[in-house]
Chains A and B, each alone.
Chain A
Amino acid sequence: MSNITEKYPLDTHEQRLTVKDPHPRHDTQGDIDEDERLRRAMANFAKNMNRTTATYMEACVHCGQCAEACHYYVQTGDPKYTPIWKLEIFKQAYKRETSPFGFFYRLFGLKRHISVEQLGEWQELIYDSCTMCGRCSLICPMGIDIATLVGQARHGMFHAGLIPDELHEVAERAKIEGSPLGATASVFEDRADWMGDEFDTEVNIDEDQADILVAMSSIEIMKYPHAIGATARILNALGESWTFRTEGFEATNFGMMAGNTEWQKAATMKLINAAINCGAKLVVLPECGHAYGALRWQGAAMFGKPLPFKVQHISEFLADVISSGRLKVRKVDQTVTFHDPCQVARRGGATEAPRVVMDALGVNLKEMAPTGDFNWCCGGGGGVITIHRADKLRYKVFELKMEQVEATGADTVLSTCSNCRQSYNDAKEHFHWDKDMGSLLELVAENLVEE
């Protein structure tokens, strides 16, 4: 008689030898005993608890409607992907330790202690299957901003050494080298020089004084370097006083996505100091979603006081200079659809800016359904694209995007986030999909009317 366990039956339909629905395993960092991991997880979750987040914790009525906004639940039908469930163990810890009736729960043992095993299980829910896209925050009848709470839960997980290894590696590399992809200052200078030649334009680096500081995403520097040349061409055409600064050119913030506030602050302060050093009045952020949230909405909190300069996403900057008539563009005979980066649109409020730019370009825009603030996430944000074990799930949720894009009939998808672009291109290769993903910034640079 066979003694083979049936716990993990083989999946004979997959191309490679595998099992059906493997139990998600979790990664750990550091040599920390279990009690200490638990203590750190809860302490760092509670550390950022404030009136707003406490109110959110108290408000949930378990209506489950957030599931209907989440691409992970919608695409899999698996209830564990219900957004508020991703916070369940932290909610239990909150109720037991810090809620108004915490003493009551502890006295009568009404809320059990959370275990490290549970935290490990929850790693998949907090990292692999949440891009913090905030669609759930928009559907919640109680108005709970679930995405913010997931970010807070990540603080706890990071300090407990319980985050996916790849994301930890990327975030740590960003902390040590200043870039998650090896885009050090010298690499950046080399590539900027190359792009200056390619675009036949001056790329200003380390100017002593400039009105505008420009930052780039490592993804752009290493994978889509045309963004450097495109930005330079546009700013030069406008006659702006602008510069990149080698002490602060990297806009991505993997410390924030991983859940380490110190690393987040270190990355943010590089940009802030670079802007202060050159006397910039404006920092223009690149086509990157989370970089926008990190500086535009969280930068001042990291700095400890209001920022002494304005912050704009490149799409906002382009919309402003086009609307004011300072930048002229040629009409483009192209049918496109637009993917709204969650952190710029839904979470950032700059939903209309790219549409102003596309209107000026005269493209035939076929909006997705739903679009704008309600657009579906690409599935690669929040650091998810770095997590290899999440690939299968990520591709599953990307099928939603493919359906959306196909329904528009457009040949090209434009966006203003290089991480979304990376996510699209990866999925395009995976699915042998024939749609192209382009950059709105690059389209503007290609169609400048230079006088």
Chain B
Amino acid sequence: MDLLDFVRGPGLQLATIIFFVGLVWRLVHLYLTLKKTDISEARQGGEIGGGLKAIFSRFRHHEPFRERTRNGSIIAYTMHIGLAIVVLGGAPHILFIESFSGLDWTPLPSIVIHVAAALTLAALLTSIGRRMRHPVLHMLSNFDDYFSWLVTVLPVLTGLLAVAHVGARYETLLAVHILSFEVFLIWFPFGKLMHSIIVFGSRYTTGVTFTRRGAKV
């Protein structure tokens, strides 16, 4: 069994199992933490609506905060949107998703994917540079921040190399790309990458609380 066979077979299975077990464990553990019910008299109803509103409204800073957060927001948006375009719009990725889900859709043109991947890579490199230089980010950062960045940037970088056939045989590059994705999957439940799921819970919770009070969400 060569590397490509391994990453397409047992490697992927193992990574997927770790991903799901870790994910379920982390979410179940959170869910089982005691729930505190707010019994104060609500100023207004619509808590569920407020929770949902918070999920969407926090995608963009309130106006008074925008100027001071502009750089961070631009980098974050470029990175996240770029990743979404590459993962959901790239033809090989759609084939991969179809292989286990049966779902498929029309891929975006290659040029769009390539540009998006390059922009994503640039945003990721900018973000790590900023994290290391900005006094606040540097102070806050820990192993999780740097390792999560690494496991995110590697699939983007190796994907670009594979497409460009640079550095090694295509099969080898492809195997390394898939392997890097598997490392991403394995790390996902243990570190900050989980924010892509937990964000909905934390925003919703705050939205509910603030809406009960009639406060700005």
Interface assignment of A59: CB less than 8 Å from any CB of chain B? yes
Q: How large is the interface on B (under 10, 10 to 19, 20 to 34, 35 or more residues)?
A: 35 or more
Q: Which of A49, A55, A297 lies in contact with B198, CB distance below 8 A?
A: A55
| B214 touching A68, Cβ below 8 Å | no
| B58 touching A143, Cβ below 8 Å | yes
Interchain CA distance A350-B61 in the complex, whole Å: 22
| A56 touching B202, Cβ below 8 Å | yes
Interface assignment of A307: CB less than 8 Å from any CB of chain B? yes
Interchain CA distance A139-B58 in the complex, whole Å: 8
Q: Which of B68, B135, B190 lies in contact with A68, CB distance below 8 A?
A: B68
Interchain CA distance A317-B159 in the complex, whole Å: 63
- In the assembled complex, the CB of B40 is this many whole angstroms from the nearest CB of chain A, namely 5
The tally of residues in A whose CB lies under 8 Å from a CB in B reads 63
Interface assignment of B43: CB less than 8 Å from any CB of chain A? yes
Interface assignment of B141: CB less than 8 Å from any CB of chain A? yes
Q: In the assembled complex, which residues on chain B have CB atoms less than 8 Å from the CB atom of A349? A: 43, 210, 213-215
Give the segment of A24-32, A77-85, A113-121, A419-427 that binds chain B: A77-85
Which of A65, A104, A140, A307 gathers the greatest number of chain B CB atoms within 10 Å?
Answer: A65
Interface assignment of B99: CB less than 8 Å from any CB of chain A? no
Contact with B along A323-364 (1 / 0, CB 8 A): 000000000000000000000011111110000000000000
Interface assignment of B136: CB less than 8 Å from any CB of chain A? yes
- In the assembled complex, the CB of A58 is this many whole angstroms from the nearest CB of chain B, namely 5
Which of B136, B195, B199 gathers the greatest number of chain A CB atoms within 10 Å?
Answer: B136
Contact with A along B78-91 (1 / 0, CB 8 A): 00000000000000
Give residues 56-83 of A contacting B (CB, 8 Å): 56, 58-65, 67-69, 73-74, 77, 79-80, 82
Contact with B along A36-70 (1 / 0, CB 8 A): 00000000000001111011101111111101110
Give the segment of A6-14, A193-201, A211-219, A298-306 that binds chain B: A298-306
Interface assignment of B106: CB less than 8 Å from any CB of chain A? no
Which chain B residue lies CB-closest to A348? B213
Which chain B residue lies CB-closest to A77? B135
Interface assignment of B161: CB less than 8 Å from any CB of chain A? no
Contact with A along B195-217 (1 / 0, CB 8 A): 10011011111110110011110
| A79 touching B135, Cβ below 8 Å | yes
Interface assignment of B29: CB less than 8 Å from any CB of chain A? yes
**B residues within 8 Å of A by Cβ?**
25-26, 29-31, 33-36, 38-41, 43, 54, 58-59, 61-62, 64-65, 68-69, 72, 76, 134-143, 145, 190, 192, 194-195, 198-199, 201-207, 209-210, 213-216
Closest 10 CB pairs of A and B: A349-B214, A143-B203, A100-B29, A373-B216, A370-B64, A68-B68, A59-B202, A50-B36, A349-B213, A64-B136
**A residues within 8 Å of B by Cβ?**
49-52, 54-56, 58-65, 67-69, 73-74, 77, 79-80, 82, 84-85, 88, 99-101, 104, 110, 137-145, 296-301, 305-307, 310-311, 345-351, 370, 372-374
